[in-house]
């Protein structure tokens, strides 16, 4: 993971690459969301490639579970649902965008 605090412009530039990994979570939240909205992994990656600055909700902020790792949180409408997207930049070897969360938002109202 990355201990470097990237600017939002740098993060969005990394998101344009082919190196995007959507994490398989233990709770299967990402997988269940993609199945519910009938979206393939490739379509989900395309949504990440199309993130824009105005979708940033907060970040960079330090990961509470992994010291010295910065996270970026976005909110975006996907398939008529407000989605929560949390990602980090893995820059240990080749830069990879790791999407930790990609699922419907809960508990927050958006305009």
pLDDT band, residue 81 (cuts 50/70/90): confident
Please report the domains of the chain, with CATH numbers, ordered by start residue.
8-104 (3.30.2310.40)
Provide the pLDDT for residue 110.
55
Q: Whole-prediction pTM value?
A: 0.89
> How much is the average pLDDT of 88-98?
90
What's the rounded mean pLDDT across residues 85-91? Answer: 94
Stretch 44-64: mean pLDDT: 94
The count of other CB atoms within 10 Å of the CB of residue 68 is 10
Say which residue, 31 or 93, is predicted with more confidence. 31
Distance linking the first and last C-alpha atoms of the chain = 33
What would the mean pLDDT of 99-109 be, rounded to a whole number? 82
User: Residue 8 burial by CB count (10 A; 0-12/13-18/19+): exposed, middle or buried?
Assistant: middle
């Amino acid at each position: 993971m990355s201990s470097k605090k990237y600017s939002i412009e740098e993060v969005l530039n990394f998101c344009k690459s082919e190196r995007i990994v959507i994490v398989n979570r233990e709770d299967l939240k990402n997988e269940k969301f993609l199945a519910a909205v009938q979206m393939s992994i490739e379509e989900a990656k395309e949504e990440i490639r199309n993130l824009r600055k105005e979708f940033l909700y907060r970040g960079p902020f330090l990961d509470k579970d992994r010291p010295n790792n910065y996270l970026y949180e976005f909110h975006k409408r996907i398939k008529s649902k407000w989605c929560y997207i949390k990602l980090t930049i893995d820059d240990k070897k080749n830069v990879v965008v790791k999407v930790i969360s990609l699922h419907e938002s809960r508990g927050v109202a958006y305009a």
